[in-house]
């Protein structure tokens, strides 16, 4: 069994509709793609941010039968500790409730405290939207001119192209990103341009 990523296949998205609550599920993505190992080339990252985020430093991957995770690390130009990290998790309901529904507000607050200790983050009441549906996000100031963003997105019914019988997959996405000079409103737009690549599993 192996997980694959395709860097060149177009994205197929179905049922993306905007909803007023960023904690609700987003529309579906239809994932497919070269074999993966513990550390993979940035070319095979499962997702990517717009160019303003800079370059991908590394991609760390974990996978098992019905679960796939990539931690995509971007350059951190700030003096603060922690990685600028885009995390993508794909799995079936057998892996737990995380793949059945969007995260709760309390869960997101706990994640932010761990990811951005000491940063005064404020959740934006209005959700954002990208190619894959709606997402929630929070921003906070960093130093005199910088800022941080924490964003979350849930996509259900992730259907491998041509492999609908391989499982009922859902995806959870998280973004933790800080920049030394970009204002909060500009940094928040990173998730607007976030793109997921198709993902599938071969047996």
Residue-averaged pLDDT of the chain:
77
For residue 131, pLDDT beyond 50: yes
Backbone angles phi, psi at 163, to 5 degrees: -135, 45
* Residue range 151-199, pLDDT digits in tens: 999 877 665 544 434 557 778 999 999 999 999 999 999 999 998 876 6
Tell me, what's the pLDDT at 1? 45
> 36-45, 75-84, 142-151, 189-198: which range is least confident on average?
36-45
Tell me, what's the pLDDT at 144? 87
Q: Collapsing DSSP states into helix, strand and coil, what is residue 106?
A: helix
Buried b vs exposed e over 161-187: b needs ≥16 C-beta within 10 Å? beeeeebbbbbbbbbbbbbeebebeeb
Tell me, what's the pLDDT at 157? 64
* Residue range 6-18, pLDDT digits in tens: 433 333 333 343 4
Tell me the whole-structure pTM to 2 decimals: 0.78
Q: Is 122 exposed, middle or buried (0-12, 13-18, 19+ CB in 10 A)?
A: exposed
For residue 98, pLDDT beyond 50: yes
CA–CA distance from 85 to each of 30, 104, 157, 171 (Å)? 23, 21, 24, 16
Tell me, what's the pLDDT at 179? 95
Are 66 and 85 in contact, with CB atoms under 8 Å apart? Answer: no
* Residue range 44-73, pLDDT digits in tens: 888 899 999 999 999 999 877 777 889 999
Tell me, what's the pLDDT at 158? 60
DSSP result, 26-42: B-EEE---SB--SEE-G
């Amino acid at each position: 069994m192996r997980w694959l990523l395709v860097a060149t296949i177009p994205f197929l998205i179905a049922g993306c509709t905007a909803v007023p609550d960023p904690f609700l599920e987003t529309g579906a993505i239809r994932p497919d793609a070269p074999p993966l190992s513990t550390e993979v080339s940035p070319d095979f990252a499962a997702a990517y941010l717009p160019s303003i985020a800079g370059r991908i430093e590394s991609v760390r991957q974990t996978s098992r039968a019905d679960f796939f995770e990539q931690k995509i690390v971007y350059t951190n130009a700030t003096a603060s500790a922690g990685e600028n990290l885009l995390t993508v998790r794909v799995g079936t309901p057998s892996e737990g409730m995380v793949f059945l529904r969007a995260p709760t507000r309390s869960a997101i607050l706990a994640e932010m405290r761990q990811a951005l200790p000491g940063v005064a983050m404020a959740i934006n009441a209005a959700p954002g939207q990208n190619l894959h549906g709606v997402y929630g996000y929070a921003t906070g100031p960093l130093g005199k001119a910088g800022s941080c963003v924490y964003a979350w997105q849930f996509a259900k019914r992730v259907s491998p192209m041509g492999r609908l019988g391989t499982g009922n997959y859902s995806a959870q996405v998280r973004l933790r990103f800080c920049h030394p000079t970009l204002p909060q409103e500009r940094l928040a737009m990173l998730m607007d341009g976030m793109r997921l690549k198709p993902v599938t599993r071969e047996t």
